[in-house]
Amino acid sequence: MAISRRTLLNTAGATALTAGFPFVHARAADGPIKVGFIEDNSGVLDIYGKPIVMANALAIDEINAAGGLLGRKLELKQYDSQSDIALYTKYAQQLVREDKVDVAHAGITSASREAIRQTFRRANVLYFYNILYEGGVCDRNCFVTGTTPAQAVEPIIDYAMKKWGNKTYVLAADYNYGQITAKWIAHYVEQRKGTVQKTDFFPLDVSDFASTIAKIQDAAPNFICAALVGGAHISFFRQWAASGMNKKIPLTSTTFGVGNEHLALSAAEGDGILIAGNYSPELDTPANKNFLAAWAKRYGDHKVVHELAVSQYQGIMLWAEAVRKAGTIEREALIKTLETGLKIEGPAGTVAVDPKTHHTSLDIHLMVVKDQKLTIIDTAKQRPPADTAQYCDLLKNPDDNKQYEVKI
Amino acid sequence: MDYAAIVVLEILYMIAFLALISAGLAIVFGMMRVINLAHGEFVMLGGYATIASAKAGINIYFAMLVISPIVVGVIGLIVERLIVRFLYGRMIDVMLATWGLSLLLIGLVTLIFGNTAVSVPAPIPGYQIGHYQMGGYNLFVIAVAVVLMSAMWFALRYTRIGLVARGAMQGREIISALGYNPSTIYMLTFTVGAALSGLAGGVMAPLTGLLPSVGGAYIAKAFITVITGGAAVIAGTLSTAALFGTVDQLVSFASTPVVGEIAMLGLALILLRLMPQGITGQFFRNST
């Protein structure tokens, strides 16, 4: 074969490229352990992101004050993704390539998680997603400390259908969280011989719900199920209350309260909304009291603490416990340690890793909004992530890497 | 039947909304042929002026009907003196300059108020039609739009200022012929346009949350309303607002608000293809 100048240049160039950028994990063996975070600290999602960022600093400082991990201090590497998905991919690259973090806790919306999950997987950086979501992620590199529909949606549907009746109207955010959660809602409603009259999806920037409110009244459901997300969607709860319908048709939500929506609305606007979740600031346990006291000591008061901030705190503490047990920050050893069913006691109760799904069993509280507080009316201890467990077994299929959805 | 009444009221509300957010732009574009790409940010500033005043304990109606127009009017005056007056007759340059201005305003508001959604509760309770209940604040928005449009029509038609303003639409020479300084008239027109945008922002503030970037949501709707309306300020704005509002809400009720917006934008495309001079280039030619 004759070698032209062009092929020679191509080959030489390609060789130089491969030789120049081998993907080596040259992380420092001593010096601080780097913990990476990407959170929406501004933009429409900052009602969720701001307290999470505060929880990050609190958790890292608590661990450092107790001497760090394995005799090394923790160093916080944090980026504000500004409610912009494009920034997530950019900062995820930055965390794994530039900062070379040892673990990442990142993402709020499911869209953001899916934008960065593969980056961490490819770079072999252990990834924690600490947010309630639609379930189904099956990825050995990814651990989830938030609730899934089987944990937090099913109890709402169960209670609402027993109390109010069979017909429901679903409002959901128009991206993967809302779409998949709406399917789970329909699944649980139909399992109990009920009907979903209609499901409406709304992009995150929709803030005029007048036509929807009229349509709901036309359908006359027994109760409404809202999986709405972000600052703009708060307008629905406000306009619903402004129309006076909040006294007539009961409202349930899979997301209300996790962004402290009950504080953004007045007591008259929020009273009576039914939710289920892992955390209420009203929880009367020593762990929660200590957590709130530490938060108030650092930030003045603990008004802004919400479930996502607590999930995040618990996610960091779970990882820290795994590091202590494993005696290393090496990824494979940590996954094996977490897969033993590792447990911690967090502000929201026991967090226990489910080895098959890499999700967690959590205490779930059924709550009602009253006077801008989340009042607990019932508690189920240690609910497993049964939805994801239907499809996902990472002990058998460690190479699985997809998000399963419920089939209806 | 009650349902039909609700649909009609929501259509009226949407028409009022479009007319309100377009009025300021229509005056500036109709009279001066200036394309103000910072119009959405003027509306946004009006919203922030109302929310900041209401949070400071000022009566919310006073805030939205008086403070917001004055604040944004003054900002408009400054912008006209410092930027726009050098660029009259240079359409592309003025678009670039006002676009830069809109980015600057978004940045400044983000610095001052933070990139966080803020809102105030609507000051009017819900009302009942048959067994339906709707937000009462929408009725207030309709009332404001009716009063504003009537006042503008009366002023343009029957006052000396209106005569000069209509002269201004014909061109600079007409203002001079009437014995006025075109530069002063343009300055006043731009200020009034900005004040009307501020009023719109103030009135809309209690309905939706405000973000510094919210102007983008307003400017697209305001522009298609004004451009599709054509040269006549009132007839153009009202006819397109009526058409778009009706289509948007009917489709929203039949499907979802998102499809409603798509239908509205699709209609604007078709109308501009058929009537490049806008509706009032074709019909109502001698109206204001």
Cα–Cα distance for residue pair B222/B232, rounded to 1 Å: 15
pLDDT at site A22: 43
The stretches in chain A having pLDDT less than 70 are 1-29, 408
| Phi/psi at A370 (5° precision) | -145, 125
Cα–Cα distance for residue pair B241/B247, rounded to 1 Å: 10
Contact A231 B217 (CB under 8 A): no
Contact B207 A235 (CB under 8 A): yes
pLDDT at site A5: 56
Average pLDDT over residues B122-141: 80
Is A235 near chain B, with CB under 8 Å? Answer: yes
Q: What is the pTM of this model?
A: 0.78
* Statement: residue B153 has pLDDT above 80: yes
Q: How many residues does chain B have?
A: 288
% of chain B at pLDDT higher than 90: 49
Side-chain-side CA neighbours of A41 within 13 Å: the count stands at: 12
Average pLDDT over residues B89-105: 92
Chain B residues touching residue A234 (CB < 8 angstroms): 117, 119, 209
Strands (E), A21-155: 33-39, 74-80, 103-106, 126-129, 137-139, 142-144
Secondary structure (3-state) at A347: coil
Per-residue pLDDT of A87-142, as tens digits, reads 999 999 999 999 999 999 999 999 999 999 999 999 999 999 999 999 999 999 99
Contact B122 A232 (CB under 8 A): no
Domains of chain A as residue ranges with CATH: 33-147+282-363+383-403 (3.40.50.2300), 150-277 (3.40.50.2300)
CB atoms within 10 A of CB B244: 27
Per-residue pLDDT of B170-228, as tens digits, reads 888 888 888 888 889 899 999 999 999 999 999 998 877 688 888 888 888 899 999 89
Q: Which of A203, A211, A235 sits opposite B209 (nearest CB)?
A: A235
Buried b (16+ CB within 10 A) or exposed e, A133-143: bbbbbbbbbbb
pLDDT at site A165: 95
The interface predicted TM-score (ipTM) is 0.71
Q: Long-range pairs for A179-182 at CB < 8 Å and ≥24 separation?
A: A179/A134, A180/A110, A180/A134, A180/A135, A180/A136, A180/A405, A180/A406, A181/A134, A181/A149, A181/A153, A181/A227, A181/A254, A182/A227
% of chain A at pLDDT higher than 70: 93
CA B135 to chain centre: 22
How many angstroms away from the CA of B208 is the closest CA of chain A?
Answer: 6
Chain B residues touching residue A200 (CB < 8 angstroms): 256
